[in-house]
Structure 1
Amino acid sequence: MKETKLTLAAAALNQTPMDWAGNLQHIQTAIQEAKRQNAHILLLPELCITGYGCEDLFLSPWVSEEAFEKLLEVKEWCDGITVAVGLPVFLNKQVYNTACVIKNKEIIGFTAKQFLASDGVHYEPRWFAPWPANEVQEFEMLGQKYKIGDIVYEEQGVKYAFEICEDAWRPNRPAERHMAKGVQLILNPSASHFALSKTDVRYRLVVDASKKYQCAYMYANLLGNEAGKMIYDGEVLIAQNGKLIRRNDLLCFKDVDLEYAEVCFSANPEIAEVIEYLPPIDENKELVAALSLALFDYMRKSRSRGFVLSLSGGADSSLCAVAVAEMVRRGVESIGLQTFLEKALFFTEEEVAALGQLPKEEARKAIVGKLLTCAYQGTVNSSDDTYTSAKELAGSIGATFYNWTIDEEVQGYTSKVEHALGRQLTWQQDDVTLQNIQARVRAPAIWMLANIKYALLLATSNRSEASVGYATMDGDTAGSISPIAGIDKAFIRQFLIWAQQELGYTGLQYVNNLQPSAELRPQEQTQTDEKDLMPYEVLNQIERLAFYDRYAPEEVYTILLEQQKGTPEQLKAWITKFYTMWSRNQWKRERYAPAFHLDDYNVDPRSWLRFPILSGGFKAELEKLQQQ
């Protein structure tokens, strides 16, 4: 085999659905950078012209037509380089997810995706049709004919082909067939969403494929919070014959993140540079990186002017506050102070200049002060500990902090209802009502602050609460976005300890010494979340066994009993409570503010887990459980 050396480049792009100008600008920037590095082939992510998250708009023929017109613009930038760019193609009343190959300003062909993602957060079969293996057709667009299908391409004698995202995750993946055709290079344009530790799996997928098929393998993923819920880590991988040649830093704040490498193609290729990959992944570092980037993209793409937060001094709101502070720290480190402020859209030239003159830590706190406004809204049932926790954390990160009480408003609503009913409301008879009114009364004033500041109101519900409906609708669930609704409470608590110790957020010392509590009952009742529910460790395990592993209630009981998570009677009571509360509160999960997908599953019915609002409530299954 003749030896050929090609410079391969792949770029992660931070795209937005239907942002034609912005998306094309990032594509053009990537092409220009690849040319500067004398790249022969540039790989761009899946559907990067339209954005991956267009959802039902993909079913509108005009979207594919518009994307094709944009492709013709991209074509003119590709002199002296081969570029693979993703877009939908509408053909025979069906939509195909394709990668178009442009070589020196000429469209060579379109490879269409063969396997469509349909599990978890994915709904691709709703929009796209799968392309059959080994089939190539011809279609006409704007008077020109083009090839589309399962195509093998060639660059300076080196044959290459595609696996588009999900194609690579299937046992009968296209690479299995391509190797027999003499293919030496696989390109994988992807829109692979972020989940904790997923990069480990993706790394093995790419590197192991390059070893199994004795080929070079290049992978490019989307970057950032593209459409609201999904986060993309922007991973770029170049591997050959089981060795990793290039890998970038994930979850950066750039619009375009490009990596390149010279790769030798021969019978025994010389691999000059090898990167050592050192798992395991630190999920705390992953979480804070994903959260901070997702919040920044959500803020700037929604053209909002920062965030407002009802800071209770508890774990959930504290995590939201730290996430905004980390957004500033990581963003400034990633792209520099001036670029960060420019991308945030609402800092004036004078503010940018003034902030640039401040010491680094002082500048960060000043930016947080403009981007994050917090309020502690106490009642007679609130403790001095949570007030101190909220005040000290806000002060330590530089957030704007307000403090007021809501007892007068609570009493006003309570008195009205008592007058209408002709009786007093009591904790013995009206416990839930008296708790909920406190949470609901907090919503109007904090919404007022958000409206005044044109800011996003952060809802603070977590996944554990969402599972059992342990939240007040239109109270603590109020918000424009619910950034931590995909994370369980146990993870949040250990994360805050880690953030205090490893990231230097000393203001977290107060919340880390508190037991989680809604603080809605009189203080003498010493209310805690786990007393109201069950140990969070058990709650989270029931949730995972029930809806990720999909076990029946009786099977969940058997597994927890074997693991000695409690006595038989305790476990029966906890499992019964969980399934009963889960079924009763689906309507709440339907109404939660948009949430980020952060773990390998979530309970959001609009992305990962659908469940009927009305159901039998596992009545028969729970009766069977009690007979154990």
Structure 2
Amino acid sequence: MGHLITVATCNLNQWALDFEGNTKRIIESIHKAKEVGASLRVGPELEICGYGCLDHLLEQDLYLHSLQCLEIILRDESCYDILLDLGMPILHRNVRYNCRVICFNGKILLIRPKIYLAGDGNYREQRFFTPWLRPQYCEDYYLPRMLWKLQGSNKVRIGDAVISTPDTTIGCETCEELFTPDPPHNHMSLNGVEVITNSSGSHFTLRKLNTRMQLITEATRKNGGIYIYANQQGCDGDRLYYDGCAMIICNGKLLAQGSQFSLNDVEVVSATVDLEEVRAYRCAPSRGLQAVQAPVYERIETPFELSSEEGDLDMSRVPSLEIEPRYHSPEEEIALCTGAYLWDYLRRCGVAGYLVPLSGGIDSCATATIVFSMCRLVIEACKAGNEQVIADVKRIAAYGEGQIPNTPEELCNQIFHTVYMGMSKQSSKETRQRARYLADAIGAYHVNLDIDEIYHAQRNLVVNTLNFEPKFKVEGGTVAENLMLQNIQARSRMVTAYEFAQILPTTRKRPGGGSLLVLGSANVGESLRGYFTKYDCSSADINPIGSIDKSDLKRFIAWAEVNFNLPCLHEFLDAVPTAELEPITQNYVQSDEADMGMTYPELTTFGRLRKVDKLGPYGMFQRLVHEWGPNRVDGGDPFTPVQVADKVKHFFHYYAINRHKMTTITPALHCNDYSPDDNRFDLRPFLYPSFWKSIGFKSIDQDLARMEAKNPGSTGKKPSPKEKESTEQIKGTEGDAVD
């Protein structure tokens, strides 16, 4: 029998600036860790104030309140007899640091600042904090007066040190540090640190968990040791969902894994590990040679032991066995992440529910299905006895004293409202029916109306004021007339949606009155291309699908059809995507892909290459001329170089002229690494020079000329006069049109 230790980590649903609530959840997690016999508890990054405080992290109040909450935890004797790894910001010598605070029995042992800060994608840590760019260096931190008596001293050590107990050594790593080429755990492991904690504020994106799991597994497979990962879970107050998945890994083997998506505010996972296994694993002579050359860490000593002789002799106590990692499919991730995020937002913002303008198309269908997924999660949590969820349901969807809904459909009818806003000439019978069938299937409170009167009133302003009768394109009108008439409808729908969101709770006599939050339904491709009207139905309070592409949405709907038992969803999968803003005739039905001049899969490719691969027009052409050429392997039709060039130019032209729309786009839940969200993630200009006469487009043309000169006829046919005329028309079409 070796030296057995039980360690605990957690997913916490923390909320930025909710100091009292965050402290309560931290203390609850400590109690749960003690209940399972853990001698070490690890929490998420910045758990006391919440990770997503953004510019509030520059305010002095935040540092004061964080210290006040730390004092509450340190004074609470129910949190004694366990080593605590807590996350909070610290102000040291007028410099702000993102820190781990290691405590035991009411005293601080060490403050460990983050060495490498996250500064890409959604992260701006260097805006708020300074990295501790002095590995293995420590100095004194002078405590505020409120902690002097409790500490028994006016100072503690701050810096890159480790904790030494009589039986092992513990080191800290924070989120981004794991992802660096030379992470701190390499040096700590070589210096004899056997237990490494990682406290994270890591957000969800589709298919990301695999990468995170591989990094942690490989870290301990190479170095040996016990790696304890903690994370936030839930909506922290912004566009990100933190997807939990706290885990414990030893010597490359996964021993414990928390949920990735859950409505539980506090979730603690634990494992029992034998320290002797770590020591045996680290027996390679080559490792020993590197270890004697490794940098030395200052060791902060504590008499507290993670193991005990009594525990080692307890024959009922056995080391945790290896388990298989648990991954959700992308379709499940969409259902669970968006549903959990919407519930957090709804219960915390104090409104009466959600409203979706339901068009009968797949995008608004996906948004409605996501709300139904939320209701399913809530009912499951209620049946599992989640007291917090039950209390929230009673407050938001009251039936009477002590009553709660029994089915997702019942809850949906209380808090979810859908509105179909049709036009007599533009809206088809099929889309109206699909909207009704879906609302009925999920239990939503549905309103079916037409906006013809509003449309004609707005159109007649032009007729009567300018003595000009605008016509649609199919009626012989110009591009400008066609766009104006479409945009009247689109913007009227936005106004109507908010009108009904304001009044429906009152007309339904919902308790507390209030209003509804309007959900948007513009997918990531349409936002990237600018295929929507500024301030139309895409303008809402939250957009749960704003960074999910059309192909993933279709897969989600196909999955939900089976797993949510919603046969009506099948009709949405077969429907041609259409905005239904132009009159339907015998020979014409508006099509999204025809209007955009590109398919949704092509948009996904452009989005990934532009953002993830960081390619401009010329770089994108150089990549796609090979990938979409005669040896194309993705199943699409091969394109000539001229066709590839035309598609790349077409995309960047419309991306540029519509970029301004992203400055006012509805906040979207972040689910993909090529989201064009202007406000947090995709920081780009919104006034571009004309791409079609830029050096990038000219470089493409030069490559085409060289290819043609080297291999005559290889680039494809030259544009016909009609195509040239069409191109010139595209160049002149600008503004905030649907297209």
Q: How far off is 1:561 after superposition? A: 2.9
Whole-angstrom distance in 2 between the partners of 1:344 and 1:335: 9
Whole-angstrom distance in 2 between the partners of 1:593 and 1:435: 20
Q: Is the 8 A contact 1:120 1:601 kept in 2?
A: no
Trace 1:335-414 onto structure 2 (pairs within 5 A): 335-336=382-383, 339=387, 340-344=389-393, 346-347=395-396, 350-351=399-400, 353-355=402-404, 360=406, 363-379=407-423, 380-414=425-459
Whole-angstrom distance in 2 between the partners of 1:598 and 1:290: 9
Q: Between 539-548 and 315-324, report the one with greater CA deviation.
A: 539-548
Q: Deviations over 1:355-392 (max 9, x none)?
A: 45xxx5xx221100111100100002000110111000
1:563/1:348 CA distance change after superposition, 3 Å: closer
- Residue 537 (1) aligns with residue 537 (2): no
- Residue 596 (1) aligns with residue 640 (2): no
Aligned partner of 1:500 in structure 2 is 561
**Aligned-pair Cα RMSD in Å:** 1.8
Residue identity matched to 1:194: F
Aligned partner of 2:198 in structure 1 is 188
Whole-angstrom distance in 1 between the partners of 2:399 and 2:608: 51
Select the residue among 342, 359, 380 that pairs with 1:312.
Answer: 359
Whole-angstrom distance in 1 between the partners of 2:397 and 2:471: 53
Whole-angstrom distance in 2 between the partners of 1:350 and 1:527: 44
Structure number with bigger Rg: 2
Give 3-state SS (helix, strand or coil) of 2:351's partner: coil
Q: Is the 8 A contact 1:375 1:403 kept in 2?
A: yes
Whole-angstrom distance in 2 between the partners of 1:599 and 1:613: 21
Q: Between 182-191 and 531-540, report the one with greater CA deviation.
A: 531-540
Q: Is the 8 A contact 1:114 1:130 kept in 2?
A: yes
- Residue 161 (1) aligns with residue 171 (2): yes
- Residue 557 (1) aligns with residue 606 (2): no
Q: Is the 8 A contact 1:305 1:346 kept in 2?
A: no
Q: How far off is 1:117 after superposition? A: 0.5
Q: Deviations over 1:443-474 (max 9, x none)?
A: 22210222233111001111111111111111
- Residue 291 (1) aligns with residue 338 (2): yes
1:348/1:526 CA distance change after superposition, 3 Å: closer
Aligned partner of 2:280 in structure 1 is 268
1:434/1:350 CA distance change after superposition, 3 Å: closer
Q: Between 343-352 and 425-434, report the one with greater CA deviation.
A: 343-352
Select the residue among 156, 160, 164 that pairs with 1:150.
Answer: 160
Q: Between 337-346 and 6-15, report the one with greater CA deviation.
A: 337-346
Aligned partner of 1:46 in structure 2 is 45
1:371/1:104 CA distance change after superposition, 3 Å: same
1:345/1:461 CA distance change after superposition, 3 Å: farther
Whole-angstrom distance in 2 between the partners of 1:81 and 1:274: 25
TM-score, normalised with respect to structure 1: 0.95
- Residue 482 (1) aligns with residue 543 (2): yes
Residue identity matched to 2:500: L
Aligned partner of 1:578 in structure 2 is 651
Whole-angstrom distance in 2 between the partners of 1:282 and 1:53: 27
Whole-angstrom distance in 1 between the partners of 2:465 and 2:5: 80
Whole-angstrom distance in 2 between the partners of 1:204 and 1:333: 31
Give 3-state SS (helix, strand or coil) of 1:436's partner: helix
Whole-angstrom distance in 1 between the partners of 2:392 and 2:4: 38
Give 3-state SS (helix, strand or coil) of 1:227's partner: coil
Gaps of 5+ in 2: 146-153, 282-317, 506-514, 629-637, 705-739
Whole-angstrom distance in 1 between the partners of 2:274 and 2:353: 48
Q: Is the 8 A contact 2:109 2:156 kept in 1?
A: yes
Aligned partner of 1:9 in structure 2 is 8
Aligned partner of 1:422 in structure 2 is 467
1:574/1:344 CA distance change after superposition, 3 Å: farther
Q: Is the 8 A contact 2:4 2:319 kept in 1?
A: no
Runs of 4+ aligned structure 1 residues displaced above 4 Å come to 269-272
Residue identity matched to 1:575: V
1:412/1:547 CA distance change after superposition, 3 Å: same
Aligned partner of 1:102 in structure 2 is 103
Whole-angstrom distance in 1 between the partners of 2:661 and 2:202: 29
Aligned partner of 1:120 in structure 2 is 121
Whole-angstrom distance in 1 between the partners of 2:394 and 2:23: 20
1:396/1:348 CA distance change after superposition, 3 Å: closer
Q: Between 262-271 and 614-623, report the one with greater CA deviation.
A: 262-271
Whole-angstrom distance in 1 between the partners of 2:348 and 2:666: 17
Whole-angstrom distance in 2 between the partners of 1:331 and 1:104: 38
Aligned partner of 2:610 in structure 1 is 546
Residue identity matched to 1:316: D
Aligned partner of 2:380 in structure 1 is 333
Select the residue among 429, 436, 441 that pairs with 2:492.
Answer: 441
Q: How far off is 1:45 after superposition? A: 0.4
Whole-angstrom distance in 2 between the partners of 1:79 and 1:277: 33
Whole-angstrom distance in 1 between the partners of 2:39 and 2:539: 51
Whole-angstrom distance in 2 between the partners of 1:505 and 1:600: 30
Q: Deviations over 1:309-362 (max 9, x none)?
A: 100011111011000100011232245377434224634664474445xxx5xx
- Residue 528 (1) aligns with residue 591 (2): yes
Aligned partner of 2:699 in structure 1 is 624
Q: Deviations over 1:265-285 (max 9, x none)?
A: 113389541102266x51111
Whole-angstrom distance in 1 between the partners of 2:441 and 2:398: 27
Q: Between 314-323 and 339-348, report the one with greater CA deviation.
A: 339-348
Q: Is the 8 A contact 2:372 2:442 kept in 1?
A: yes
Q: Is the 8 A contact 1:17 1:227 kept in 2?
A: yes
Residue identity matched to 2:325: Y
Whole-angstrom distance in 2 between the partners of 1:603 and 1:148: 40
1:341/1:546 CA distance change after superposition, 3 Å: same
- Residue 243 (1) aligns with residue 253 (2): yes
Give 3-state SS (helix, strand or coil) of 1:88's partner: strand
Q: How far off is 1:61 after superposition? A: 2.3
Whole-angstrom distance in 2 between the partners of 1:205 and 1:335: 35
Aligned partner of 2:533 in structure 1 is 472
| Number of equivalenced pairs | 621
Q: Between 191-200 and 568-577, report the one with greater CA deviation.
A: 568-577
Among all aligned residue pairs of Structure 1 and Structure 2, give the percentage whose two residues are the same amino acid: 29
Give 3-state SS (helix, strand or coil) of 2:26's partner: helix
Residue identity matched to 1:346: R
Aligned partner of 1:174 in structure 2 is 184
Q: How far off is 1:410 after superposition? A: 0.3
Select the residue among 483, 499, 519 that pairs with 1:432.
Answer: 483
Residue identity matched to 1:150: D
Q: Is the 8 A contact 1:341 1:347 kept in 2?
A: no
Q: Is the 8 A contact 2:231 2:246 kept in 1?
A: yes
Give 3-state SS (helix, strand or coil) of 2:568's partner: helix
Q: How far off is 1:156 after superposition? A: 4.1
Whole-angstrom distance in 2 between the partners of 1:158 and 1:601: 43
Q: How far off is 1:622 after superposition? A: 2.2
Trace 1:80-95 onto structure 2 (pairs within 5 A): 80-95=81-96
Whole-angstrom distance in 2 between the partners of 1:396 and 1:353: 27
1:33/1:156 CA distance change after superposition, 3 Å: farther
Aligned partner of 2:60 in structure 1 is 61
Whole-angstrom distance in 1 between the partners of 2:212 and 2:260: 13
Q: How far off is 1:552 after superposition? A: 2.7
Q: Between 556-565 and 155-164, report the one with greater CA deviation.
A: 556-565
